[in-house]
Amino acid sequence: MDTVASLLAFVAHAGQSVVASADDLVSWLQTLLYIDVVQPLLFHVGMMDVDEDTYDALYWVIVGVLEVGLMYALLRPLEALVPAERWRDRKGVGVDALYTWITRLGILNLLFFFTMQPFFDRAQSALRLMGVKTVDLDNLWPGVTTQPLVAFAIYLVLLDFFSYWYHRLSHRYGVWWELHAVHHSQRKMSLWCDDRNHLLDVIGQSCMFAAVALVIGVPPAQFVVLVALTNFVQSVQHANIRVHFGWLGERLVVSPRFHRRHHAVGYGHEGTHYGCNFGVLFPWWDMMFGSASFNREIEPTGIRDQLEGVSYGEGFWAQQGYAFTRIARRLRSHSQAAASAPAEARDDATVT
């Protein structure tokens, strides 16, 4: 047991050093940009009252920019060399890049995390006064889980578990699905596709992720890394690349092939589970809860009614607006069905 603990501690220390170096780089860029660019601009427009909040947000923005640059440098060449599908053109992919920049700058995640934090702090204080113990994952295994990298791994798995259920439920309920359908309506999956989501769905995901992170005690610095890592892995999953992780690898982490099945026409949003392969980072939850579907075929992606000519919008605002149109149509249909049911029951009673 001591040997295992020592090994884990060594790995954790090495990982911590890498993260610390990256943090130092981002912090240096944050200070440089703030002093030379942001602070003078705030002073010029008379907004120095938000300078501290702006300084904090700048860290997240830098992480987002570096992340987008890294994912493009690594994944775009692979899409050109080993594409899962070859397209005549990249029409319709550009709007996904806009979604990516909106999401990866991290403003919504940061906003909800720090907005919710005071409420959770007060709630935890109230629970302590009542004698109720709060979540303390760091002390599950003293000497091991107190290592930042080990604690980070625990946070990652727990957050992925809740993300699995959030994702699965977004397929289950009609109104929610109409928001999530913005994501599934892309028939040309690429490295940009992960962030193609309705803004209301993004807000819901950000709230859930921030709330769970606060409940389990994720430190702010680790929260930034958790979001960045999760986003990057999901970009890999959505990339238009023909790769297979092998029998074991496909069952350890969600691969592009595994996730493509989730987007496949006829599989990704239908059936008894309203789809399959809902896992965000790990396929374990799909395997545990009966929603896993391992398939090596490269299948066309999108939503079935798109084959019949139904449009989900071409541009950003059209995609956002069409979702509300579909929701209104769905609610109107349910309302009409509910109104006609009693009338049909009365007619049946009259006949009998």
Say yes or no to pLDDT of 75 above 90.
Answer: yes
Say yes or no to pLDDT of 55 above 90.
Answer: no
Query: Nearest CA to 197 among 343, 99, 67?
Result: 99
| pLDDT for the residue numbered 71 | 94
In angstroms, the Cα distances linking 11 to 6, 126, 143, 177, 222 are 9, 37, 13, 41, 17
pLDDT, average across residues 189-198 = 95
In the chain, domain spans: 18-332
Q: Taking all residues of the chain, what is their mean pLDDT, rounded to a whole number? A: 84
Amino acid at the residue 70: L
- The crossing angle, in degrees rounded to 10, of helices 316-351 and 174-184 is 150
How large a percentage of the chain has pLDDT more than 70? 82
Helix (H, G, I), strand (E, B), or coil: what is residue 76? helix
pTM of the model: 0.83
| pLDDT for the residue numbered 145 | 66
d(CA 231, CA 209): 12
Query: Nearest CA to 294 among 324, 264, 269, 314?
Result: 264
Query: Nearest CA to 239 among 69, 85, 103, 66?
Result: 85
**With the C-alpha atoms ordered 174, 177, 179, 182, is the resulting torsion angle positive or negative?**
negative
Higher pLDDT, 142 or 223: 223
Say yes or no to pLDDT of 38 above 90.
Answer: no
Say yes or no to pLDDT of 249 above 80.
Answer: yes
d(CA 127, CA 327): 40
Q: Tell me the per-residue pLDDT of 97-110, one tens digit each, with 9 for 90 and over.
A: 999 998 887 666 66
